[in-house]
Each structure stands twice: as structure tokens, then as C-alpha cells.
Chain A
Amino acid sequence: MNIDTKRRDLLAGGAMAGAVAGMAWTPRAGAQTPKAAPFTIVINNSPWFDGFRKTVEDYEKETGNKVNLDVNPFGGSLEKQRASVRAKDGMFDLLIMNGLYYQEMYHGGFLTPINDIDPKFRLDPQMIAYDNTVFWDEATKTHDPKGKLMSVPVNGNIPLLLYRADLYEQNKLQVPKTWDELLANAKKLHNPPRMYGIVQRGARGAPNDVSYDWWPYLYSFNGSLFRDEAKGDFTVTINSKEAKAALDFYIRMAKEAGHPQTGGLAQAQIIQNMVTGRAAHALLVIAAWSQMDDPTKSAVVGKVNAACVPGSATGKPAPVLGHWLGGIPKNVPKPRQEAALTFLAWFQSRNAQMNYLKAGSPPVRQDVLSDQELWKDPKNRWMPAMAESSQYVRLMWSVPEGAQIGDILELRLNQAVIGELTSDKALNMIADETHTIMQRAGYKTGRIAPL
């Protein structure tokens, strides 16, 4: 495997292309994986990347096929993907797209439907479809499962509630099911600056911190960004009473049991506080789990446990998707498309997913995630929480304007967290600005009365 963080060899696939172009092959999980052209994956360097890299190495050893990895920061990966798919000839053969921006690849028509590459390919029934985000109906612009298969899940990143199990035991606390219970537990353990009851991602992120951290509160308080996206009603409802209750609670949590500088904390600082033993709770993506038990990075090895994020007194838990999907662009040669699909077919097999788990990344197959034999291993003690969460996962938005809306959310929510704006004003501003974006983009939209 060649990990290229600067450039890739444009001709990498070309040399092998002719040799394999005429080969008939059928990628099926468990079947003999055929020889394929070298191809390039463009990917972000997130906390789960190391597990993915090891799994790619397994693939190369097992099949003899060659994979190049182009590794980038989160934002850099998106920029490279955009540049590649908009060019006449694409550089990257497999795009690892985040749940917050894959929409623009679907809407923009940049991806090849998987079955256009191989009509026989089927998403394994055990693969989690993540709110059906792998499917796309071009006519209705929705994630209708009857639509075309556009991508294959690569990582099921969702937030879990990480908590200090040792402190829970000492203080005889129960794992919280609601935000009120979480606040009560956090207050009990709050002893700053030695220990913060909870650390929250309140920073204005690039691209997403505070909005991603707050969204589970929003949904579980029965708030939403739009009235009914699935039915095409994009009336902006982010300044509802429910949303205000969710934001007020989030800020209250920070004030009463949180870090004194919540408005400056991004994901890296949250992880830092957890692994140094200075935080009792955090909502963290499961990808960060491996660092909790890594003795070279963590002072709390074996002391952290995971649970499904809480719900409100009136609403279900709502872990939001920050998952990753693998999509194949239209503008790359067919042999490289086939090579990318060969890899995805192998990747969705149970064996590959078991290796993926061993390498430290959460699997995307339900039968692996729910395998209770695996749960017995203390290293996998996060798996029950992940399996439970999978039934509640929700998407933040499905529109390609998400990047613009996300920027507004990050600014205004951060201003609310640091006290620069009241929650009413912040939400009204988000609503106004989001409505303008949706109106200009031609959606059926509207506004509710301001707070």
C-alpha cells in the first residue's frame, strides 16, 4: 500500500487497466476476490483511519491487489474530492464521503450508481444502511431504498455517551437515560479544574463541532431543522420552542457541570480531557474509542465505558450520523471503478469486518456489531451501546446546501454558548439565514414565528 498525502500517480490505474479490462468478474462477499487494477482511495485522517489502513493492508495481502491511500485532514479531503469529481478525468477512484457532505456528490450527479458498474452487486443484508443514506432516488431527491445504490458504508461513526465507569461505581451512579439524569450525574462528579462533570464540543468548528454535539439534544427535545424533509417540506423550524429548550439545556449543562471554556473546545480537546482523566462524561464519536484504552495515550485505560446518548423526558435518544460512505465517481476509467468495487465487495464481508473490528474501527455489519460473543471481550465493551444506538440514528440533513447551513449553525450556536447571543436570538438568526439559503435554492420553504 502506498500512502500518498501529497499527490497520486495519475497513471497508476492506467497501466493495469488494459490487462484487466476484459476479465469477467463478480464481486461477492466470501467469493474469491478477483485480480483488479491498482486504484486510489481519498480519505480523511480521522481517529478511525488507522483501523481502515490496517484493513486495506489485509486486503492487499489477501488478494495481491494494490491500493493507494490519499490521506488528508477532514476539510482537505472534501476539497480534493470536489476538485477530482469536477475535473474531466478524476484522480480518485473511491471517495470516502462524510455524512455531512455526501449529499452534494449525489445531487451533483458525480457518482456512478454501484449497479451500473456491476449489475450483480448487492449490498449485503447485514450491512447497516444508516438511515438509507446509501440509496438515492434521482427523481424525488430522497433516500428511498427503492432508489439506486450509490455507496457502501465504510464507517458507522455516531456519538456515544462516554463516561467514567470507575467513578460511577465509586459513587453508585446509574447510567443516564435522559439529559436530566446526565446533568445530575455530571454535577455530582464536577470538581473543576481537576475534574469536569462533562466536556462538550462547543467550539465554532471547521467544519462541524458545536452543531454536531448539540444535534442529539435538538432531536430528542423533538426539535428539527426543517418541518419534514422526507416529504419535501423545508419550512425552517430551528427556532421552535423545542429547539430553544434543547439549546438552553445544552448551555445549562455547560454552565452547571461543564468545562469553563466550552465555547473553545473542539473534538481534539474533548478527547484530550477524557484521556487525561479530567472529564467524567463526553459525547464522542465511536471512532475516538480506541484512544481511551490505548496505554500510550490514555491515563484512564479500562476506566471508560460507553452508553447510548440520552433522550429527553419526552423524546427518544437521537445519535446523529457522522458516518462515512464509499462512493465511486463517474469520471474514472471503468477498470478502476471495478477495482474500487472489488474492494468494497471484499470490505462488506464478515471476515473483513471482523478484521476491521480487530484493527480498532467499529464495524458496519449488524451481525458483527450484535455478536454477543464479541461483547464478552472487555476491549469491545462499547459494542452493546453501539448496537443499541443503531436503532435510533438520524441524519442531520439531506440537502446539498448542508455545508452552508452548517457554517451558519457553527457560528450562531457558538455565539450562544459563549454568551454573545441569547438562545432566542441565535436560533432566530439561524432560521432567517437558513431560510434565505433554502429560498434562493428554490426549495419549498417558509418560516415559523420568531422566538
Chain B
Amino acid sequence: MTAAATMHDGRWRVIALTPVTAIFLAMSVLPVLNLMAMSVHDIGWSGGRSVWTSAGAVHYQRLAEDTLLHAGIWNTLVFSVVAVAIQIVLGFFLAWAVSRIDRGRVLYRTIFILPILVPGILIGAIWKLMLNFDFGLANAILEVFGAEPRDWLGTRALALPSVILVDIWHWTPFCFLLLLAGFESMPQDVLEAARVDGAGIWGELRHVLVPMMMPVIVVTFLFRFVSSLKVFDEIYLLTGGGPGSATEVVSYTIYRTFFTQDRMGYGSAMSIAVLFGITLAIALTLGASRRHGARP
């Protein structure tokens, strides 16, 4: 290719990408800039109009003193790490098992992905009823075995694990699907070579499957981890952040600050801080995965 053709090609790329870039900027960067502007103001209402008063960095300073936000950050991290780790492990073994069977694979795949097809509002209603202290299925089963009923959503020790359980039920199929695609695209000759070399089922798993699946596992983990940091619907529907602050998560704290308390300035500062935190978490995860040789 000549130099002139390369330059022409480069210009064409710039021209072609400009509209998309402009739309991207309008749809994502401008709202963030607006959020940043709001985060350094107190916004009130008088005479039917908004009144913006400069607040400097006060809202950011308050983040450090906000114990509810701190509880939310901690719970979100616990929720994300535990739920996603279990989902990846379960999804991996389910996908592995399904990839090894020849008959009925489509049927199993269909059954396993059912939970992600159920709308969040229904999941909330179903699990809230099942975990109800007085009338729920979970306590009815305990009663059959002579055990005391538990308040799954109303006690500090059980509320967060219960919400994590619901999230695992809901999102393991997502991990399963991505990992199954990984198993199905795996070169069979490597597996056959391992078997010829005498690798048993666990040897095959440990020395062949896991290393080869690592890029898919990392991508799956990233997708799920980032989306789990934004968990909202399960908390909103099942516990409302309670009891106390046991299931408070960051997105719910921001929601209440913004919409219930109507503190738009402080809510914006929270949002910016969380956005920064999530970006940092993604960068660290990607860096770590690259250091370990997995390239998503």
C-alpha cells in the first residue's frame, strides 16, 4: 500500500468514527461532566426554580465521614467478591458437565439459563415470599426437619448471605453460558493429547482446562464483578438495605441520597467517587490478569 493510500485510509477512519465519537461523548461524557458540576454545588429549590450554591469540595470531604456509605462500600465488596466467586465456580462446573455430554445438551442449557430470563421484580417477589419468616417455603422446610424458623431477611447475620444466595441463583446461568461457549470452542486435539498422555479427569481439569479457560474466566469475572458492584434491584426488593445497615450497598445509598433525600449535590459526589472506584477496580483486575498471562 502506498503512503498516500495509507493517509487516505487514516482520514477516512477519522471521518467515519467522528459521528460515533460525538454520540459517545454526548451520551456518556457530558452526563459525567454534569455530575461533576453538581457534585460541587448544593442544589435547592425556591419559587419553582433550582438554586445552585457553590459548595467547593465539601461533599467530597463528607464522604470520608459518612458511616452509611462506608457500610455500603464494605457490603458491596463482600457481596461482589463472594457472589461472583461462587457463580464462577458453579458456572464453570455446570458448563464443564454440560460440555461433556452428547445428548440433551440443549435441554440442559435451556433449563440452566431460565433464572436470567425472569424479570428482576418477579425474582424479588418470589424470593421475598420464599424467605418470609411466618409463611415462607424456606422456614416450612426447616419445620419439616424440626428446626427453628429463621428470619432470613430480617436478621443481621443472615440478611446479606440471603441476598447473595438470590444473586447466585439469578446470575450463575450467565457465567454458565459464557463458560460453556469457552468449553465448546476449545481445541479438542489438546484434550485428546492430554488423555493419550494419561491425564485423568482432575489432571485434565487442573493442567489443561483451567489454564486454557483462564481468558474466558477472566472476562466472565470482569463482566459479573462490574455488574455486581451495581447491585440494586435485589436489595431494593428484598431488604431495603436493612436490617440496620446489614445489606446497605453503594448503589442503594446513592439512590436514597439522590431520590429519597433529594440531596443532588452530595449524591453526585458519591456517584463520582464510586465511578472512580469501579474504574480503578477494573484497571487493577485487568492488570492482574495480564500479569498472570490471561488476556481478555
Binding site for B on A (CB under 8 A): 75, 78-79, 82, 85-86, 104, 107-110, 193, 203-207, 260-261, 263-266, 269, 272-273, 276, 278, 330-331, 403-404, 406-407, 411, 414-415, 418, 420
Contact = CB atoms under 8 A, between A and B. Distances in A.
A109 B156 CA distance: 42
Given A75-B260, A203-B242, A204-B244, 14 more contacts: A75-B259, A78-B259, A203-B240, A207-B260, A261-B151, A261-B154, A264-B243, A272-B134, A331-B48, A403-B260, A404-B263, A414-B243, A418-B243, A420-B244
Contact of A82 (B49, B242, B256, B262): B262
B242 A109 contact: no
A110 B50 CA distance: 11
Interface in B139-171: 149, 151, 153-156
B151 A260 contact: yes
A204 B48 contact: no
A404 B260 CA distance: 7
B244 A415 contact: yes
Contacts of A414: 242-244
A265 B154 contact: yes
B134 A273 contact: yes
B262 A403 contact: yes
Contacts of B245: 411, 415
Interface bracket on B? 20 to 34
Contact of A193 (B50, B134, B256): B134
Contacts of A264: 133, 151, 153-155, 242-243
B119 interface: no
Contacts of B260: 75, 78, 206-207, 403, 406-407
Interface in B21-67: 45-50
Interface in B244-265: 244-245, 256, 259-263
B276 interface: no
A406 B262 CA distance: 12
B239 to A, nearest CB: 8
Contacts of B218: none
Contact of A411 (B68, B154, B263): B68
A205 B48 CA distance: 29
A420 B157 CA distance: 12
A214 to B, nearest CB: 15
Contacts of B134: 193, 269, 272-273, 276, 278
Given A86-B50, A110-B45, A407-B261, A203 B154 contact: yes
A273 B132 CA distance: 12
Interface string B64-89: 00001000000000000000000000
Contacts of B46: 107-109
